[in-house]
Each structure stands twice: as structure tokens, then as C-alpha cells.
Amino acid sequence: GFVSRLGCLATDWRPVLGVSPPPPALRPVLPGRLRFPVTPYGTNTGAPWELYACQPSSMPTKEFMQIKVEPPGITCGNPPERFCTLENPYLCSDECDASNPDLAHPPQLMQDRERGGPLTYWQTITWRRYPEPLLANVTLSWNKSLEVTDDIQVTFEYGRPTAMVLDKSLDYGRTWQPYQFYADDCMDAFAMPPKAVEELSASNATRVICTERYSRWVGSRNDKSVRFEVRARFAIFAGPRLLDMDNLYALMESAKGLRDFFTFTNLRLRLLRPALGGTYVQRENLDKYFYAISNIEVPARCKCNLHADKCTFRDGNLECQCDHNTAGQDCNRCKSGFQAKPWTPGSYLPAPNGSPNACTSHPTVSNCECYGHSNRCSYIDFLNIVTCISCKHNTRGQKCQHCRQGYFRNASAELNDENVCIECNCNETGSIHDRCNEMGYCRCKEGVTGIRCEECLPGYYWNQGCIPNFCDEELVLCQNGGTCVENQQCLCTPEFKGVLCERSVCEKEGGCDAAWASDPSLPTMLLCILPSVLTALTAH
Ligand SMILES: *[C@@H]1O[C@H](CO)[C@@H](O)[C@H](O)[C@H]1NC(C)=O
Ligand SMILES: *[C@@H]1O[C@H](CO)[C@@H](O)[C@H](O)[C@H]1NC(C)=O
Ligand SMILES: *[C@@H]1O[C@H](CO)[C@@H](O)[C@H](O)[C@H]1NC(C)=O
Ligand SMILES: *[C@@H]1O[C@H](CO)[C@@H](O)[C@H](O)[C@H]1NC(C)=O
Ligand SMILES: *[C@@H]1O[C@H](CO)[C@@H](O)[C@H](O)[C@H]1NC(C)=O
Ligand SMILES: [Ca+2]
């Protein structure tokens, strides 16, 4: 288990304990790990790559299967009966008696361990009711999704059936589909052309075929087994010696149909016609026709969706020991508290360790950290974050770590201080908005200054904001002795006019006559006539 644990332990998927996979040529094949009762994936050719993926090892599953035979009364011995053999029809000394343990042939003898003793087998009644067909169903259930890892092999004593179907179910027996047809004449029995698994290619590897290979009469002792060829199908993708299993796994990753093909929860053998000894049914001796199965091998591993490398048998059921925060019989969902994102199966890729695709918890939902400004958090699904709600003390943010709009960070306070946020208090009239920078400075309108925008720059005066000065004592002076009143207007002496008192009242616009006309006072008259008087005097 150590090497394969690598795949499951490394939730963050870095090599654990400094162990990184050796280069392909040196990868270890652990002796005894691939315990195949039938034909193990070679001893030095095997599939070492799979040891790195997070999946349970393959095992013989017959110990864990429930067997049901149908119809009722199909098992021989009730009442007791005698049967003959195909090779020697006159030797009818064998007896089946359900009430005698030594002569009984109950279904469980299909899954027992032989322990080197005499062969034990389940046996049916004989074909006394010919020409009515002799039909029997053997249903195998595991109540668990399994992935077949090597050939399924059914061992028939006294000859193999001349017609049968292997069915499988993926949904605990609710629906069934044929897995493979078997007949000594496929066309005759199923109207299907006979095919061998070797004829399949990558494009049709999951085709359901009818094969004649396991149904022809070869003598009851020569070849007893009927197989469902898994290895040969793997070989289509992994090469004849299955050295390239990563290619197969990579394909399974993308092709659900291929993956499902090797997956099942139940199998069913539909026995349709028994062995006939290579000839026609001989009505005068029907006691030599029956079915007898001594063993059923189904090498498989628990399907754990690459989230477990162990599968245990508990309370009569197989269960994956889920890693990666997954749960369920097949590790097919996220454990509660780890549903931050949707469940996905683990991946075989990238080789060799694959990826865990672990379920993750809501990042901090168990630790709702809000710096003391809230004690409630909420998970926002589409952002995959946990956020504090109803932050107090004018704070805001995922962890109440920021100040609300209109407040700024109190540099002398800790994040968890009630006084951490100070109001900006921007002057409504002078500021552009109510926000301030981290130093508490508001953004001021033109001509406005001060932390809160409540003062005017030089050259401006306050009037519902800062207005450029009309006049002042420094830059824009009132002229000719005029005085600046509240920066808004110049108050001129009587002789001058204009916004800055820059013009003489006598200038232009009709000169003195006009001034005289508009202001007929003595000083104006004197001022107006003075220049003319002076000019006249100078001329003489
Ligand atoms: C075997 O199972 C098939 C499919 O459910 C059913 O149609 C058939 O009647 C069964 N045969 C017997 C002998 O019970
Ligand atoms: C099948 O397995 C599931 C999950 O382990 C269990 O809840 C259920 O009872 C089992 N059903 C039978 C018939 O054993
Ligand atoms: C599978 O495909 C190959 C060619 O790709 C073809 O030769 C063969 O007959 C096909 N087998 C079946 C069962 O259709
Ligand atoms: C800033 O925080 C300190 C420490 O809590 C506090 O004494 C001070 O009053 C705070 N300043 C303001 C303006 O709230
Ligand atoms: C804004 O500033 C002006 C000028 O200093 C001041 O007269 C006014 O009262 C302030 N407004 C507020 C709301 O503080
Ligand atoms: Ca047996």
C-alpha cells in the first residue's frame, strides 16, 4: 500500500515525503499486490502505472457477491433426482439431493473456496420438460459499483451451455443490458454474426458481440470456462502485454462510454440452452442435460472515482474509504462542509499520479473572521468566498477590514478597534464628494482647500464655495484710490469709474459734455472744464 497511498494522501498533490515516482523503467511492481486468482496481469509485465493512481487494488470479488438463481425450484435435489453425463449417458449413478449436505448442490457452491478438495458446484434440475426450454438466471449482486480488471470467468462442470447471455447492470439491477452473447451458433441463437474479441479495434472495443468460442463442444472436461474477455479489450489500448495502461486510463478519462463499459453493479447469466454433447437433443435420455457451475470469478476493484485507495467490507457491503473530503459508497459526492465547489471524480491525468480534484471547504466559513466588527458570515456561491455581513463601527469588506465610504482609517487604532474608522466630514459645499483619502483629505472643488475643503485658496473668497476674487489688496488692486469691498467690488473715488476704477469719469463717450449732462454737479463741471482752462492758459 505505500506506493499507492501516494496518490491519495497527496491532497495538494506534491510528492509526499520526498518520494517521487521512479522513471518508468524502474517503477516497482509490488509482488503480491495484484492478487489475481485467474490470470494476473503478468508478474513483470503488469500495470505498475496504476499503482500510483488513487484507486483500490483489484481483488477477487466472489466472496462479496450475493447470488440469486431463478426460477424458483431450478436448483436440483428437491425432490432428489439422478443425472447422467454427456460422455457416458448410461452412467447415471450421480444423485442430487437437497436434503443431504453431501449430495446437495446449492448456489453458494459457485462462490466457495475449493481448498483443494473435491469440486463443489451448483446444479440445476435436468431437462425433463423438453421441449420446453431449460432456462435459468444466475444474478450476481454486489450492491456496489465495481470496475472489472481482468477476465470474468465462469466454470461449468459437465459441459458449457450452447446458448447463454451475460447481462450487466450499472444501476443496482434496475436496468440491464447485454454484455456478451454466447452460442455454438450465434446466427441461429441470436441472429448475430459470430465475432471474436480480437476482431475489435479502438473504434468498436465496447461493441457487444456474440462469440462461439466458449460454447462449442470440446468434451466436458477439456475446457470448462466461459470468459468475458476484459484483458483482450484492455490490450486494444494498452498493447498486447498491457504495458501501456496509462494510454487506456487517459482514454477512459475522456470517454465515458469506455469507462462505463468496464463498470457494473450486477451481472446476470441467462442460461438458455445446456450443453448437448455436440449433437442433437436426445429425448430418450434427458437426464444428461442440465447446468452445473463450480466457480465464478469476477476480478474487479471498487469504483471509488479515484478518491480512495481502500475499499472495505462492512455490515455486508463494500464501501470505499473516501479521501479528498469526499463521501458516499463510491466517493461520489463531497463531504458535508466541503461543498465549496461541485464534486468531480479524481483524474488519472497527469500521469503518473493523476489529480485528486479534492472537495474543498468554504475557505473560512468555519472561522468567520471580521476583526470583531461582526460575528456573522455568509457564503457567496458564485464567487466561492465567505464574507462578513453587517460590519459595524463604520467598517466594510469581506472581513470588515476596510472603512465605509466617508470614513478613513485611524492610523493609531488597531483593525479590531471600535475607533478604527474616522469620519471624513468633508465640507458639503467645498468638496467634490464625501470621500477622503487614507490621510483624511477630502477632494476639493476649484479654489477650495483644507483637509475638509472648508477654506479658499489665495485669490478666492467663500460664497457657497470659493469664488475667484474680484479684487483684493495684493493681486487685483482697485485703481485710482478705489477701495476693494469684500473682494467683490471696487468702490471708486468720484473722479473714476469702471470695475477697477480705471477710467476717468471724463474719458470718451462724449467727454465732459456727456459727463456734465449725466452728473450736473459743481465738482464734475470744474473737473471737466479744468483741462480746457489749463490748455488755454498754456497756449497764451
Ligand atoms: C431471466 O431474466 C430475464 C430478464 O429479467 C427475464 O426476462 C427472464 O424471464 C428470466 N428468466 C427466468 C428463467 O427467470
Ligand atoms: C446497499 O448499500 C447501501 C450503502 O452502503 C446500503 O445503505 C444499503 O442498505 C445496501 N442495500 C442492501 C440491499 O444491502
Ligand atoms: C471493428 O472495427 C474494425 C475496423 O476498425 C472492423 O474490422 C471490425 O469488423 C469491427 N468489429 C465489429 C464487431 O464491428
Ligand atoms: C483613533 O484611535 C485611537 C485609539 O483607539 C483613539 O484614541 C482616537 O480617539 C481615535 N481617533 C479618532 C479621531 O476617533
Ligand atoms: C463649509 O465651510 C464653510 C467655510 O469655512 C463654512 O462656512 C460652512 O459652515 C461649512 N459647512 C459645513 C457643513 O461645515
Ligand atoms: Ca465451487
For the stretch 115-133, pLDDT in tens is: 777 899 999 999 999 999 9
Amino acid of residue 169: S
Which pLDDT tens digit goes with each residue over 217-234? 988 788 999 999 999 999
Enter the C-alpha cell of residue 227: 470468459
Angle made by CA atoms 326, 328, 332, in degrees to the nearest 5? 65
Residue closest to 261 by CA, chosen among 346, 164, 172, 148: 148
The residue assigned the cell 456474440 is: 210
Helix, strand and coil content of the chain, in percent to the nearest 5, comes to 15, 25, 55
More confident: 527 or 417: 417
Residues 252, 258, 262, 267, Cα dihedral to 10°: 150
The answer to whether the CB of 454 is under 6 A from ligand 5 is yes
What residue's CA is closest to ligand 4, atom 4? 413
- Which of 75, 134, 137 has most ligand 1 atoms within 8 Å of its beta carbon, as the pocket-test mutant? 137
6 pLDDT exceeds 50? no
**Contact, 185 vs 245, CB < 8 A?**
no
27: pLDDT strictly greater than 80 = no
Alpha-carbon gap, residue 158 to 291, rounded angstroms: 8
* Peptide bond just before 79 cis, omega within 30 deg: yes
288, 289, 295, 300: CA torsion to nearest 10: 160
- Mean pLDDT over residues 343-358, rounded? 86
Task: State in Å: Cα 194 to ligand 3 middle.
Answer: 12
Specify the ligand 5 atom closest to the Cα of 425: 14
pTM equals 0.64
The whole-number pLDDT of residue 402 equals 94
- Do residues 363 and 388 touch, judged by C-beta distance below 8 A? no
Would you state the pLDDT for residue 382?
A: 75
- Answer for the pair 172, 265: CB distance below 8 angstroms, yes or no: yes
Ligand 1: distance of its center to the CA of 272 in Å? 10
